[in-house]
Amino acid sequence: MENNNSIWLTQNENKREFRSLDRKGEVDVAIIGGGITGISCAYYLSKQGLKVAVLEKDRICSKTSGGTTGKITSQHHLFYQYLITSQGKEFAKKYWKAAEKAIDNIEKIVQEEKIDCNFERKSSFVWTKDLKELHRIQDEVQACKSLGIDAKLVDTIEVLGKIEGAIEFPKQAQFQPVKYVQGLAKCVLEKGSEIFENTKVVDYEKIDDGFMVTAKVGEENRKVRAKYLVVATRYPIFNVPGFHFLKMYQELEYGIALKADCELNGMYVSCEVPTISFRDYQTENGNYILVVGNGHKTGENQENNGFEVLEQFAQEYFPDKPIEYRWNAEDCIGLDKIPYIGKYAETIDNMYVATGFKKWGMTMSNVAANLITDLIVGKENPYEDIFKATRLRPIKNHEEMKNMLKEVGESVILPHIKGEKGKKYCAHLGCEVSWNDVTQTWDCPCHGSRYERDGTLIEGPAVHGLNEKDKS
């Protein structure tokens, strides 16, 4: 892909630019990562009177946050039956309440800060056209009802017409995520905090009760000292402490936006694999339908072009509508499917992380921002226990754990034992990368770092280019 700009980034043009870090500074909180999570953290912390510096290696909201579907929902696919089975009913209910609270929080911010970001309330649906999958929808409806969730089973939805079944969550929401984040960024600056773009953090040092953070601006190292450090980089860039790379993986999804003169009453995602999600987006220049999905583990070889499934769906249900945008985006998934939010590691104080949102980062970013803010200011948060980042609960996702260990062994150990030359290795932990013909990138199958054809880093957890070695 020569151009990976989503409709959000292209139409909004990521208008406001922020300068790079140009001097040594001292702040209360340094936040690494300028996506929706990092900027949301900066917003809440600044409102508490803390001075914050956000350090973003590219442009704010330019990666996953700018490639999302823009859904804000507590309906995280078919998830509550899984949560009840794996974690218990009380845990599942707290998870739902945390997500519902986040929707209300975002709506409140939009209203109070007067952020023009196309926020609107709509129902959210997970549907199936496969009779063999209907029982999963039915089981999820019953699980949700047992938690007090206002969920219902329906057998018809717009556009698709007659289906086998779908679960509906009312009063969910959608928005334009880049406009929202830029609105938050404006508030952060007004509170006296700062945002730095093109400032790539490469290392940190623990000093007394604080941190010295080192960032690269061009070829120069710049430093920021902070009492608190928040790592909001989608996938944590520091391996030690925390060892988060042992309990997460990344998936790559594809998206298209087509011009279509129709409005939708809801937001929709399929139950089956490959997953297809679609929603509308109303603009002054016309209406669009966004179709996103067909995801796969980063670095895996795909049998089909990543966009083919989406284009076939669009042609079937929105025939002859021109596709104007194509993009891809990556997301991070924990092995137990629950986000890691809180202390980075038990062995280090004042360092926090938010990661593993399982493709629901628009909602969980607000959960994370509030939780981390509460931890920093010493306020009790009702959801701290269920998202604890240092948790050591047994991993339920045995198949993915097996795959992860197998890939690490094959990619890290075997090539070096054999002494193979001419291979390309990820700068993160040395895994052999694979070429993605669709995106024209080198992708790491172990932890999801991605690189341009020439080896330039696109996305982490690596912080250097191909065949270089990370110090973290």
328 lies in the same domain as 254 = yes
241 lies in the same domain as 262 = no
Identify whether 37 is part of a domain: yes
pTM above 0.85, yes or no: yes
Distance (Å, whole) CA 229 – CA 213: 9
- C-alpha distances (whole Å) from 233 to each of 8, 15, 58, 365, 465 are 20, 22, 12, 12, 17
Identify whether 425 is part of a domain: yes
pLDDT value for 422: 64
pLDDT value for 430: 80
323 lies in the same domain as 344 = no
Residue 119 CB neighbour total at 10 angstroms:
19
pLDDT value for 302: 66
Identify whether 31 is part of a domain: yes
206 lies in the same domain as 341 = yes
Give the residue numbers spanning the domain of 27.
7-67+178-246+337-377
Distance (Å, whole) CA 203 – CA 161: 53
Distance (Å, whole) CA 107 – CA 175: 10
- C-alpha distances (whole Å) from 73 to each of 69, 70, 77, 196 are 11, 10, 10, 30
Identify whether 135 is part of a domain: no
Using DSSP bridges, classify how beta strands 71-72 and 248-259 pair: parallel, antiparallel or unpaired: unpaired
Per-residue pLDDT of the chain (472 residues; tens, 9 = 90+): 445 689 999 877 557 789 999 988 899 999 999 999 999 999 999 999 999 999 999 999 988 898 999 999 999 999 999 999 999 999 999 999 999 999 999 999 999 999 999 999 999 999 999 999 999 999 999 999 999 999 999 999 999 988 999 999 999 999 999 999 999 999 999 999 999 999 999 999 999 889 999 999 998 999 999 999 999 998 998 888 877 777 888 899 999 999 998 899 999 999 998 999 999 999 888 899 999 998 878 777 666 678 999 999 999 999 999 999 999 999 999 989 999 999 999 999 999 999 999 999 999 999 999 999 999 999 999 999 999 999 876 555 556 556 655 555 555 555 555 455 668 888 887 888 888 888 888 888 888 788 888 888 888 888 888 866 544 4
Using DSSP bridges, classify how beta strands 348-355 and 434-436 pair: parallel, antiparallel or unpaired: unpaired
366 lies in the same domain as 219 = yes
User: Do 137 and 270 meet the contact criterion of CB atoms below 8 Å apart?
Assistant: no
User: Do 42 and 100 meet the contact criterion of CB atoms below 8 Å apart?
Assistant: no
257 lies in the same domain as 310 = yes
312 lies in the same domain as 254 = yes
Identify whether 148 is part of a domain: no
- The total domain count for the chain is 3
Q: Beta partners for 226?
A: 27, 211
Identify whether 11 is part of a domain: yes
287 lies in the same domain as 414 = no
Of 346, 377, 408, which residue is a domain's last? 377
Q: Using alpha carbons only, how large is the chain's radius of gyration in Å?
A: 21
Of 345, 377, 409, which residue is a domain's last? 377
Identify whether 156 is part of a domain: no
236 lies in the same domain as 265 = no
Distance (Å, whole) CA 45 – CA 230: 11
Return phi, psi of residue 460, to 5°.
Answer: -90, -175
226 lies in the same domain as 356 = yes
What are 92-95's contacts with CB under 8 Å, separation 24+? 92/143, 92/147, 93/147, 93/148, 94/382, 94/383, 94/386, 95/338, 95/383, 95/386
